[in-house]
Chain A
Amino acid sequence: GAVVSQHPSWVICKSGTSVKIECRSLDFQATTMFWYRQFPKQSLMLMATSNEGSKATYEQGVEKDKFLINHASLTLSTLTVTSAHPEDSSFYICSAPDRIMNTEAFFGQGTRLTVV
């Protein structure tokens, strides 16, 4: 099956710094990628939809200036958490839909972000 690779798998950063998370589709092209956030013992909440060559679409309540998304190519989307604070600590997961059937979603391994 298709593979989505997410990097890093975990990161610890200081408050006020920025962190970049990468999401790559390894064996297929993804014009769209989704970024989710998961709090401990909770479900995945869609943050934004990343679109190759255009601006990302953010869900209501998600600060676009804080969570910068760039979809520079058909195989790479990045999420940058700017000026991170402890409340940004979470598990972030990206996914890409099956482009042909437009049904299934393939998920990255996730990134555990801890802001201290």
Chain B
Amino acid sequence: AQSVAQPEDQVNVAEGNPLTVKCTYSVSGNPYLFWYVQYPNRGLQFLLKYITGDNLVKGSYGFEAEFNKSQTSFHLKKPSALVSDSALYFCAVRGTGRRALTFGSGTRLQVQP
């Protein structure tokens, strides 16, 4: 079975400061890892994905994530947070043989002006 853990329900950061949203995963075989962002009453917007290759993945809106196989982590990062980054962030994983994504519980990011 595949699973995703997002240990923080909420992350608070001041505008202009770097942010990190944590994610660890468990999956059989090589993982496909994703980050999505959700604004209130909206669907999910794709931010970035790791399939293979470089461990540091760059995505939309200045976000990036680092794949760490030994720690089974895929933390989302951004060097300088914006107030408009405030939203709900989901980490997701897909393993070999299963096409549907398994999502983490979500982390609410609050960026204060």
Task: Report which A residues bind B (CB closer than 8 A).
Answer: 1, 6, 9-10, 32, 34, 41-44, 46, 49, 91, 93, 95, 97, 101-110, 112
The residue in A95, A102, A104, A105 that gathers the most chain B C-beta atoms within 10 A of its C-beta is A105
Q: Select which of A43, A91, A102 is within 8 A of B103 by beta carbon.
A: A43
B41 proximity list for chain A (CB < 8 A):
9-10, 91, 110, 112
Task: Report which B residues bind A (CB closer than 8 A).
Answer: 32, 34, 36, 41-46, 49, 51, 90, 94, 99-106
Q: Which 4 A-B pairs have the closest CB atoms?
A: A107-B44, A109-B43, A110-B43, A107-B43
B46 proximity list for chain A (CB < 8 A):
1, 104, 106-107
Q: How far is the CA of A101 from the CA of B99 in the complex (A)?
A: 11
Residue in A closest to B44 when the chains form the complex, CB atoms? A107
Residues of A contacting B: mostly = strand
A34 proximity list for chain B (CB < 8 A):
99-101
B105 proximity list for chain A (CB < 8 A):
42-43
Cβ of A105 and Cβ of B101 under 8 Å apart?
Answer: yes
Q: How far is the CA of A10 from the CA of B9 in the complex (A)?
A: 26
Min distance, Cβ B35 to any Cβ of chain A, angstroms: 12
Cβ of A32 and Cβ of B103 under 8 Å apart?
Answer: no
Cβ of B42 and Cβ of A109 under 8 Å apart?
Answer: yes
Q: How far is the CA of A109 from the CA of B40 in the complex (A)?
A: 11
B34 proximity list for chain A (CB < 8 A):
104-105
Q: Select which of B51, B99, B106 is within 8 A of A43 by beta carbon.
A: B106
Residue in B closest to A112 when the chains form the complex, CB atoms? B41
Q: 16 A-B residue contacts at CB 8 Å?
A: A1-B46, A6-B43, A10-B41, A34-B101, A42-B106, A46-B101, A91-B41, A93-B43, A93-B44, A95-B44, A101-B51, A102-B99, A103-B51, A103-B94, A109-B43, A112-B41
A110 proximity list for chain B (CB < 8 A):
41-43
Residue in A closest to B46 when the chains form the complex, CB atoms? A104
Residue in B closest to A97 when the chains form the complex, CB atoms? B99
Cβ of B104 and Cβ of A43 under 8 Å apart?
Answer: yes
Min distance, Cβ A31 to any Cβ of chain B, angstroms: 10
